[in-house]
Amino acid sequence: MKLHILGCYAATPRTLTNPTSQVLDIKGHMFLIDCGEGTQVQLRKNKIKFSRINHIFISHLHGDHFFGLPGLISTFRLLGRDKEMHIYGPKGIKEAITLLLKLGDSWTNFPLIFHELTSKETELIYEDDKVSVETIPLNHRVYTNGFLFKEKLGERKLNTEKVAKHKIDISSYQNIKNGKDVTLDSGQVIPNTELTFDSPKPKTYAYCSDTAYMPEIIPQIKGSDVLYHESTFLDSEEHLSGKTKHATAKEAAAIAKAADVGILILGHYSTRYKSIELFKEEAQTIFQNVELADDGKIFEF
Which residues are part of a known binding site? 60, 62, 64-65, 140, 210, 268
Measured torsion, CA atoms of residues 284, 290, 294, 296, in degrees rounded to the nearest 10: 160
Q: Are 237 and 271 in contact (CB under 8 A)?
A: no
Cα–Cα distance for residue pair 261/224, rounded to 1 Å: 5
Active-site position among 25, 64, 235, 260: 64
Chain centroid to Cα 71, Å, comes to 21
Q: Are 247 and 211 in contact (CB under 8 A)?
A: yes
Radius of gyration of the chain (CA): 22
**Is 64 assigned a catalytic role?**
yes
Q: Beginning with the edge strand found earlier in the chain, give each strand of the sheet holding 112-117 in spatial order.
A: 112-117, 85-90, 53-57, 29-35, 21-26, 2-7, 298-300
Q: In sequence order, what are the residues at sequence separation of 6 or more whose Cβ sits closer than 8 angstroms to the Cβ of residue 195?
A: 158, 159, 162, 163, 166, 168, 176, 182
Q: What residues form the annotated binding site for Zn(2+)?
A: 60, 62, 64-65, 140, 210, 268
SS3 17: coil
Point out the residues that are catalytic. Answer: 64
